[in-house]
Amino acid sequence: MNTSQGKPSPPARRRRWPIVLAIVVVAGLIGWGGHYLASDTAASQASRFGGPRGGHGAPPGRGGPGGRMATPVGAAQAVSGDIHVVLNGLGTVTPLRTVTVSAQVSGQLQEVAFREGQHVEQGALLAQIDPRTYQAALAQAQGNLARDQAQLTNAKLDLTRYQTLFKQDSTSRQQLDTQTALVHQYEGAIEADKGALDVAKVNLGYTKIVAPVGGRVGLRQIDPGNNLGSGSAVAVITRMQPMDVLFTIPEDNLPALRAKLHAGATLAVEAWDRAGKTHLSSGTLASLDNQIDTSTGTVKVKAEFGNDDEALFPNQFVNVRLMLDTLHGATLIPASALQRGSSGLFVYVIGDDDTVAVRTVKTGVTEGDTVQVTEGLKPGERVVTDGSDRLREGSPVTVPKLAGGAVASNLADTLPSPDSDAGGGKGHGSRRGDGSPGAREGGWRHRKGSGSSDGGSPAASGAHGN
């Protein structure tokens, strides 16, 4: 009877040991490789953002409290300064006068005396209509007036004779009254002739089309040689200086604005382009509308601008900033430092130990990228402006510095430029191409020896690139 039935023989057991050993070795190599890649990636990210490295290969003393890796963030200091109370609105540039110049008499257009886009003065000749018909009408009116004046003179002489004869009882009363009426008839005809003469003179003057106001002439509406009718447009003149801007403000801001106007204050107004980045012109508040638009809850406001450089163009869309007041000694921080949570607005305040604390704040006026803090923050305290999405209460942070030594408020400013990356391609290539620990250690020594005490500054990156 074979008692060893079901048990592997010694030769079979000896054949399994190489397979088990190979599996253990492969698993060990995979584990070691994963640990190496993880620590190398963390070290590369820390070196890129300029923050301390708390992992493998990090210099001593660069980790956060409790061994946690410090997070690179942008920072800014709360300052005390002045901030303007600004009312923003959307406006349309409106000229003081826009006149459509048209013909007032009919006729053939002989000449256009202006250039498109030209500045003209009031009374300048713009176009000429054929005047011959109106010259003839003027001559006819003058002839009618001369004829009726001669008839009136003769009638007055006859009236004088009839009056003498009537006194001598040599003519009847009826004859005298008839002659008196004839004199009055000729006097009325002369007045009509004078009116017709004035009309003829006016019509003849209308054959010269002149500028009713000074300003810029637009594109001409008709060419010479065409027949014009009464009311046919020739050109449009727009007065460019000064220029008005019509905009709206919320009705909630109306009491404060009216209080300033009643106090006699002159409120400054600025016009900016559509994107709100280019300043176009500065002016003053001119007037308010007399009612609120109930459909929008806004009131119309008009501002006047000198527009000497013609930066404002009629019907142009602009962003308007009305300077309502100026607050002095306010606590100011960048708007990027504000965070919104379930309890309201808060900021991350950087303490002296380079850890952050969550601080609830209350804000006031906002002007551009600057915000007034009314409660919760004091001038001189540092707040996080970039990289706050990775922070918690008590998180350790590090603030990179720019090449000039200033504190970076935006982490994007600390990234190396394409030129420095190209210059340092050789050093980076040796680290990426050679996976040995010696290559990584050599790369660290190269950056440490670049002469910068702050491993996260762009100056250090630039030295490495060069």
Q: Does residue 139 sit within a domain?
A: yes
pLDDT per residue as tens digits for the range 218-250: 998 989 999 999 889 999 999 999 999 999 999
**Among 359, 374, 394, residue at a domain's last position:** 394
Domain span at residue 349 reads 76-83+329-394
Burial 16-32 (b: 16+ CB within 10 A, else e): eeeeeeeeeeeeeeeee
Alpha-carbon span 166 to 19, nearest angstrom: 163
Do the domain assignments include residue 165? yes
In a domain, 463, yes or no: no
Work out the pLDDT band at 140, boundaries 50, 70, 90: very high
Tell me, yes or no, whether 284 lies in a domain.
no
pLDDT at 66 (0 to 100): 54
Bond into 416 cis (ω within 30): no
Reported as a single tens digit per residue, the pLDDT across 277-314 is 899 999 999 999 999 999 999 999 999 999 999 999 99
Question: How many domains is the chain partitioned into structurally?
Answer: 2
Distance CA 369, CA 351 (A): 24
CATH number at residue 202: 1.10.287
DSSP state of 276: S
Phi and psi torsions of 270, nearest 5°: -120, 140
Asked whether residue 453 is domain-assigned, the answer is: no
| CATH label of the domain that carries residue 384 | 2.40.420.20
Domain boundary among 156, 174, 206: 206
pLDDT of residue 341: 87
What's the rounded Cα separation, in Å, for the pair 281 and 326?
Answer: 20
Instruction: Specify if 380 maps to a domain.
Output: yes
Sign of CA dihedral 385, 391, 397, 398: negative
User: Among residues 172, 206, 240, which one ends one of the domains?
Assistant: 206
Averaged pLDDT of the chain: 80
Q: Note the pLDDT of residue 36.
A: 62
Q: Which span out of 62-76, 308-322, 449-463 was modeled with the highest average pLDDT?
A: 308-322
* Strand-strand pairing, 71-72 and 397-398: parallel
Percent over 90 (pLDDT), the chain = 53
Confidence of residue 13 (pLDDT cuts 50, 70, 90): low
The rounded percent of the chain whose pLDDT value lies above 70 is 78
pLDDT in tens, 391-440: 888 889 988 888 776 777 777 777 665 555 444 444 343 333 343 333 33
pLDDT level of residue 153 (50, 70, 90 thresholds): very high
Of residues 341 and 139, the one with the higher pLDDT is 139
Is position 170 within any domain? yes
- Of 141-145, 418-422, 439-443, the poorest mean pLDDT is in 439-443
- Asked, for residue 4, whether it belongs to a domain, the answer is no
pLDDT given at position 32: 76
